[in-house]
Amino acid sequence: MRRRPKTATVAQGSKYLAACRGEPCYLRVPGLCRRNPIDETVVPCHSNQSRHGKAGALKAKNEFTVPGCGACHAWIDKNRIGTPKQVKFDVWDRAFEEWAPVRARKMGEGNCQ
């Protein structure tokens, strides 16, 4: 008998999304980000990289999110100004590298840096 692969529950995924609440924008796209520390447009921004589970209409796994303001989130998800994907990946990767230890402490994970 075949088993379906185990997927994260809604509760498991929502803890990653909740960790982004009240945080400043970590994407900080030059020329777009207002860098407002209490920006109410900050939302969890999922990675757009296939190595994080992004495929077609599927979003990346919730663990691959960073807090981002509305302007930076739109820049990551849309390509109105022709920015190369690799530039966007580099911005997102830098943001995730900064966010991961903060999120780990916030969530009480033992392996925080």
Per-residue pLDDT of the chain (113 residues; tens, 9 = 90+): 666 555 556 666 788 888 888 999 999 999 999 998 888 999 999 998 888 878 878 888 888 999 999 999 999 998 777 889 999 999 999 999 999 999 999 988 655 44
CATH number of 24-104: 3.30.50.20
Going from N- to C-terminal start, the domains of the chain cover 24-104
Q: In the numeric block, which tokens belong to residue 13?
A: 């995924």
pLDDT at site 12: 66
pLDDT at site 7: 57
- Does residue 68 contact residue 47 with C-beta atoms inside 8 Å? no
- Name the residue among 31, 32, 42, 37 with its Cα closest to residue 65: 42
pLDDT at site 112: 46
- Name the residue among 6, 24, 113, 108 with its Cα closest to residue 66: 24
pLDDT at site 59: 84
